[in-house]
Chains A and B, each alone.
Chain A
């Protein structure tokens, strides 16, 4: 048993360099990406998007969605770190791929960009559903907006939307603001408001609705206004990231290059915001940004350096944790003023905001509450766009030892006095009683 585990450890030691070459804890950016297309012409029609990915060092592997040799795993190991599905009409994937294996791929901590389009297949809808995104049931419906359409929309059915309802998050969309509206033509989807893992990145304006543009509306549309999400992201509990877009055209060279002017707005932009939007989003989804890593939780009594096995009530302690952010190439200190630590036993007894030294180290000090039990240091950091940090460390807190109490209590001095005078008095009394006369 011992030997076996030792040899396993040894083997993994040799394998370590090989493993770290790709996606790992230390280097969270994806490297090998499988791109599934339902038409190889997409490769050239969306070439700008792909070439920016390539220029950032991604190793793209283009496959037709119906390719019978499709496989995400080989010998039980995933051979890709990321997956881009630009095959909205595919009814069935070739090879061993199906909606469940894609869900497993995400559950293993890998990332996915999924683009649907009008009349997306059940398969694509199914994958989106697994990620908590509900596309409009009506397969021929599109997002229509009669007030914030793009003026370049020549068809006149107002399905080319100039959307600017972007989520305000530097982590997801980068620090430079996207000025130009993003052009979108495609299908609407909605999110369950109780689902805290999914997030609208690009939402429709209040005047949008989802309907079939070629037929008359017989009943009020089911999806309307800002309930409609155009592009959503999902960050799973294991920090796998998924981008789901209702439009494949969003990524296309044509919309990247086209100018945009929102109806009713005087501002005219030479270039739409699509390229910036898509590029920044792809940086986020492939963990080039917004990926946090925390070192272990360090705590000790004030004035000591070693971590004790147990605290006593009312001890003063110091707590620190290091948090780093992945910049795409290296780990940089993460600077924020909202990281909190809980000293937790069924409910937080101490909740403190940590102060940072700007070098990634967060620290605070506090007094252990006057309650004994098994406590936990908990750092639960959930910030929009960043990976979730959930760290906890168990530490028992004991009551005073029998010799740690005050030996004499000042308020009790009258009682001590009474006690001793009684004893002395009794002694004197006995003496007098026994030996008097």
Chain B
């Protein structure tokens, strides 16, 4: 803590600061414990398993890494997915999470703590959320002092949005990426505040870790340039800004290019262009400031006109070349996911595969309340607090919250990026509010006891307040420094006094009546308590389900639906090792990881045509589907069906996406054929195409035998076609609750029959000689 160092030891205030440091360290440890333990509900309520879909892939990769070492992992060509194309895992995966967990596992084993890879994977996310809250503390401390830092860290430790992606078992990239994101921002701010090249280098390394971990690194490499540009435009350019930015771009880009999945994209795609553009601008600005320093104002004006006229011409040419280059690529050099960020309607118009993922949909209003809860109300207060006074650091967090609010509005998944920003803002708001309220209570109490409050305000304030006000002072000084650098030296002397005076005035203005302060304080505490209750509820009830095991509470107790693992186990025990299993891509990762069978498509949706082929097969009639699957050497087809127990995210509900994605590549599949008057239905009103497509048949085959009527509990209707036979597929497995149904492709007929109808209509044109035996000697 900067404040501690600046004061001589032994004084009471130094003692208090030392006590504050120890206290805040203790609080941080507790926050870490809180962050870790609030994410263990899933293990306690269910079991220590990997959750959902993507984590299974990461788990499988980690297993491979721990078994074969890093070089094999780097060069891993996986022949068990995307059959027959295969997938170069080493070159298409963000390795950060895997390497992190692999290293943890290796270290633990090296010191003789024999944990299984699965255990390490399950607990990676909770551990890293503790790290993330500490990083939040550091970042917020840089912005508004350690009081705000502690508040923000505590908020982040239990923000539901982050919990949803980092409960124990949720072994996904975001688990470590959020930590990396916050830590990178912290190092950026730290460099910005200190101007230290050491932190700038660390910042580049942290950025490298982020690039390793998550595709969301583009958020960093766009947000930081934006902030730099903002600083330049608002006249806040300083050498510290240069040191914070230029090494990051150079080192960061070089390091990012080392990650195989990014590679040349780090200099080729439009996502990164903003950083290069700002890199040029900051150099120009630096040059201008330098020249301004060595020239007289008159000469400077001449130089400006000269440079501007030449520079404009050069710029125009460069821009024209760039525009031509970018325009020559069909998507304008942007990847589909980024484009759908800029234009929220882009995905639904052009890329159904992106739009089909539920986490790529825009969020609904309630999801904001669910995911960040009271923070949504505290954020505006935090923004206001950041403007008084506005420093480089606080302008950064303001920019961060503004951008992340926009992005979270486009894609529900990016709510995760919003959460830290909201926590930081709310932490600042809470801390400032507490400062004001406790300060005024103290002032009122002390003024009541007739003490001279004026002189000792700052010393009598809580240590938190002390630190933050010290920070504020520092911010003021920084601001003044900047003013001085503008070269207006004559303004320096008068500027100092009003600012000191205004500070005193402000302090006085912030004094509130005692009763109002106490009530407000209580309300704030209630708000915080409500937040905690909500977070614990969300962690325990809403976000802990592993989604491979489902539970439902009904009047006769708890029901557990473990159908997924049941059927993957069936596959691994009853099919040949090299058999291919076709299913919709959602279940690809799980099938390869849990059943160890080759799949056609999986959750890494890199080949649209391949997915469209499977979609087309699912939407085709049996014979055509059989031919498609047979051409892909598929032996088994797996469908997920929730109609018996009412599991809503089953294949019938996803089916329209299969039709759309299939139809995008193979135009003979038309969405309109599956809809009756624009309505998706599977009852007797459904279209014949719908009732004859493979997905319908595989899901509802023998369904009527369950209750005699064929009542689908998800769609809440009786199905349209109840009794039918399968000609090209045979049912080999249906799980206990009918959630997973596995079919085998029938082999080709051994014989081809002749024309059947002829046998029936016998024309006899002569004497019937049916039973007349002929003389064999004839």
Taking CB atoms and an 8 Å cut-off, the chain A residues in 379-415 that contact chain B are: 394, 396, 398-399, 401-402
Interface 1/0s, chain A 236-265, versus B by CB < 8 A? 111010000000110010100000000000
B148-156, B399-407, B543-551, B752-760: which one contacts chain A? B752-760
Contacts of B761 in A (CB 8 A): 137
Contacts of A131 in B (CB 8 A): 751, 754
CB distance A107 to B750 under 8 Å? yes
Contact of B578 among A121, A252, A394 (CB under 8 A): A394
Taking CB atoms and an 8 Å cut-off, the chain A residues in 167-215 that contact chain B are: 191-192, 195, 197-198, 211-212, 214-215
Distance (Å) between the CB of A39 and the closest chain B CB?
Answer: 6
CB distance B86 to A248 under 8 Å? no
CB distance B770 to A374 under 8 Å? no
- Chain A contributes a number of interface residues (CB within 8 A of B) equal to 63
State whether the Cβ of B763 lies closer than 8 Å to any Cβ in chain A: yes
B72-80, B459-467, B492-500: which one contacts chain A? B72-80
Taking A39-B776, A131-B754 as known contacts, 4 extra A-B pairs with beta carbons closer than 8 A to each other, sorted by chain A number, are A130-B753, A212-B766, A234-B751, A374-B598
CB distance B752 to A195 under 8 Å? yes
CB distance B776 to A46 under 8 Å? yes
State whether the Cβ of B748 lies closer than 8 Å to any Cβ in chain A: yes
| Docked complex Cα distance between A39 and B766 (Å) | 25
CB distance B751 to A374 under 8 Å? no
State whether the Cβ of B749 lies closer than 8 Å to any Cβ in chain A: yes
Contacts of A211 in B (CB 8 A): 765
A26-34, A138-146, A280-288, A355-363: which one contacts chain B? A138-146
CB distance B74 to A192 under 8 Å? no
Contact of A134 among B86, B90, B755 (CB under 8 A): B755
CB distance A374 to B756 under 8 Å? no
CB distance A399 to B77 under 8 Å? yes
Known A-B contacts A39-B773, A138-B765, A215-B766; A372 and B86 likewise in contact (beta carbons under 8 Å): yes
Interface centre among A122, A139, A218, A238 (most CB of B within 10 A): A139
- Chain B contributes a number of interface residues (CB within 8 A of A) equal to 44
CB distance A42 to B776 under 8 Å? yes
State whether the Cβ of A89 lies closer than 8 Å to any Cβ in chain B: yes
Distance (Å) between the CB of B388 and the closest chain A CB?
Answer: 43
State whether the Cβ of B83 lies closer than 8 Å to any Cβ in chain A: yes
Contacts of B771 in A (CB 8 A): 89, 91
Q: Which residues of B contact A (CB under 8 A)?
A: 71, 74-75, 77, 79, 83-86, 88, 90, 260, 578, 598, 631-632, 748-756, 758-759, 761-774, 776-778
| CB < 8 Å A-B pair total | 139
Distance (Å) between the CB of A390 and the closest chain B CB?
Answer: 11
Contact of B752 among A39, A118, A121, A192 (CB under 8 A): A192
Contacts of A39 in B (CB 8 A): 773, 776
Query: Which chain B residue shows the least CB distance to A198?
Result: B752
| Docked complex Cα distance between A130 and B755 (Å) | 9
Contacts of B768 in A (CB 8 A): 139-140
CB distance B764 to A401 under 8 Å? no
Contact of B763 among A137, A236, A310 (CB under 8 A): A137
Contact of B75 among A38, A126, A402 (CB under 8 A): A402
| Docked complex Cα distance between A327 and B756 (Å) | 38
Contact of A140 among B748, B750, B764 (CB under 8 A): B764
State whether the Cβ of A375 lies closer than 8 Å to any Cβ in chain B: yes
CB distance B77 to A372 under 8 Å? yes
CB distance A140 to B776 under 8 Å? no
A-B contact pairs, 7 of them (CB 8 A): A41-B777, A103-B751, A119-B769, A191-B754, A249-B778, A372-B86, A402-B90
Interface centre among A45, A140, A191 (most CB of B within 10 A): A140
Interface centre among B260, B756, B772, B777 (most CB of A within 10 A): B777
Q: Which residues of A contact B (CB under 8 A)?
A: 38-39, 41-42, 45-46, 89, 91, 103, 106-107, 117-119, 121-122, 125-126, 128-134, 137-141, 191-192, 195, 197-198, 211-212, 214-215, 218, 234, 236-238, 240, 248-249, 252, 254, 310, 345-346, 372-376, 394, 396, 398-399, 401-402
Contacts of B770 in A (CB 8 A): 89, 91, 119, 121, 139
CB distance B77 to A310 under 8 Å? yes
Distance (Å) between the CB of B458 and the closest chain A CB?
Answer: 45
Distance (Å) between the CB of B87 and the closest chain A CB?
Answer: 10
Contacts of B88 in A (CB 8 A): 372, 398-399
CB distance A129 to B759 under 8 Å? yes
Query: Which chain A residue shows the least CB distance to B79?
Result: A396
| Docked complex Cα distance between A120 and B75 (Å) | 68
Contacts of A398 in B (CB 8 A): 75, 77, 86, 88
Known A-B contacts A119-B772, A237-B750, A402-B75; A373 and B85 likewise in contact (beta carbons under 8 Å): yes
Contacts of B763 in A (CB 8 A): 137-138
CB distance A374 to B86 under 8 Å? yes
Contact of B759 among A42, A122, A138, A214 (CB under 8 A): A122
CB distance B769 to A140 under 8 Å? yes
CB distance A89 to B751 under 8 Å? no
Closest 10 CB pairs of A and B: A398-B77, A396-B79, A140-B766, A374-B84, A45-B776, A212-B766, A129-B754, A134-B754, A401-B75, A119-B769
Contacts of A41 in B (CB 8 A): 776-777
Query: Which chain B residue shows the least CB distance to A192?
Result: B754
| Docked complex Cα distance between A301 and B48 (Å) | 45
Distance (Å) between the CB of B427 and the closest chain A CB?
Answer: 43
Contact of A106 among B79, B84, B750, B767 (CB under 8 A): B750
Contacts of A191 in B (CB 8 A): 754
CB distance A89 to B774 under 8 Å? yes
CB distance B774 to A132 under 8 Å? no
| Docked complex Cα distance between A113 and B776 (Å) | 18
| Docked complex Cα distance between A398 and B87 (Å) | 9
| Docked complex Cα distance between A134 and B753 (Å) | 9
Known A-B contacts A39-B776, A192-B754; A375 and B762 likewise in contact (beta carbons under 8 Å): no
Distance (Å) between the CB of B524 and the closest chain A CB?
Answer: 55
Query: Which chain B residue shows the least CB distance to A133?
Result: B754
| Docked complex Cα distance between A188 and B74 (Å) | 68
CB distance A396 to B759 under 8 Å? no
Contacts of B79 in A (CB 8 A): 310, 374, 396
